[in-house]
Amino acid sequence: MASRALRARLTGILLLLPAGLLLAVMVLIPLAVLVWFSFAPEGADAPLSLDSYARLFATPLYFHLAMKTMLTAGLAALLTAALGWAPAWVLSRLAPRARTATLLAIIVPYLTSYLLLIYSVFVILGPGSPVMVTLRLLGLAAPGASILYTQAATVVMLVYENLPVMVFVLFSGMQRIDATLLAAAGSLGATRRARLRHIVLPMAAPSLVSGLIIVFVPMGGAFVEPAILGGPNGLLLGNVIADQMTRADDPSFGSVLSLLLLLATLAIVALLAGLRPALHRLTSRWSDHVAPA
């Protein structure tokens, strides 16, 4: 008996080994190198020092930038969820064949190189482009104006890029909501709004949170989009890190900033993950109210 338990445990360890090794090699070791670099401003051969950290704390600049980066990514993630909700719902209610076709249509931009996407957005948002001309005709933009080279252009790009991911994640949650459940609720007098609150929201909440986390993390580390579209005041923490690693040739300070980005991102992700039980509580409270009816 004992040997069977032992064998089961051994099998478990063996099965975990490849993934564990991969994690160690691809995550833990680079992370350790990052930490080491952050203490080695004079290069690998020189004694360790706190100089790079001193530089970080000498000015509020980089903390402001980290804050701005998190706010930008957070706003973009929320917008992505808001825009992705309806298509994901429609998708989850479609007949299987139509669903496959629609999924394919959604996946196409996701399979396109993001540089191509950025340059297409460049054309779409440029001065004199259809979008800006329409806005001008509506009196919403000055002639020759464009949101290119502003923070707004970066947000538009991040949303556009990540929308397919959000739709997929929301769809996978919503797909599990049984149509008969909604029909039953309807036959018992639940309004559309009540069905949304008591059935759809609680059941889709976990995928909503997952979707937010999945799109937020890359958005927080974005640097190509702000570099091309964001203009002089649109730079994010990722741009400064990229500059430190390449042109400024200061991997130590770059590592310090990377760790700052990592901590800030982890904090937001923890917050989002904490949202899940809160969402659950909120929706179950709604359910309590309705129960007697």
Partner 1 sequence: MMLSRRSLLASAAALTLPAIARAQGAAAFKGQTLTIASWQNYGADDPGTLQMFEQQTGASVKQVYFTSEDDLLQMLRTGGTGKIDVVLPNLEYVLPAARQSLIQPIDTARIKSWSSLEPRFRDDPSIRYDGKVYAVPWVQGATSLAVNPAQVTPAPTSWDILWDPASKGKVGFFDDPTTAVMTAALYLGENPQAPDLQRVRKALLDLKRNVKLFWSSADDWNKAFLTGAITMGNLWSGLAGTLRANGHAVDFILPKEGTVLWGDTWAIVRDAPHADLAYAWINFATSTPYFTQWITHPGPNQELAVPVNTDAIKALPEAAANKLLAGPLVAYRGPIALQAGIAPAALKKWTELWEEVKAS
**Interface residue list for partner 1 (CB under 8 A):** 55, 59, 61-62, 65, 122, 126-128, 144, 146, 148-149, 227-228, 231-233, 235, 239-240, 243-244, 246-250
Closest distance to partner 1 from the beta carbon of 86 (Å): 33
Closest distance to partner 1 from the beta carbon of 249 (Å): 6
Closest distance to partner 1 from the beta carbon of 239 (Å): 8
Nearer to partner 1, 126 or 202 (CB): 126
Exposure on the CB side of residue 112, measured as CA atoms within 13 A: 18
Nearer to partner 1, 80 or 258 (CB): 258
Nearer to partner 1, 207 or 252 (CB): 252
Closest distance to partner 1 from the beta carbon of 232 (Å): 4
Nearer to partner 1, 159 or 235 (CB): 235
Closest distance to partner 1 from the beta carbon of 252 (Å): 12
Nearer to partner 1, 170 or 235 (CB): 235
Closest distance to partner 1 from the beta carbon of 149 (Å): 5
Nearer to partner 1, 205 or 256 (CB): 256
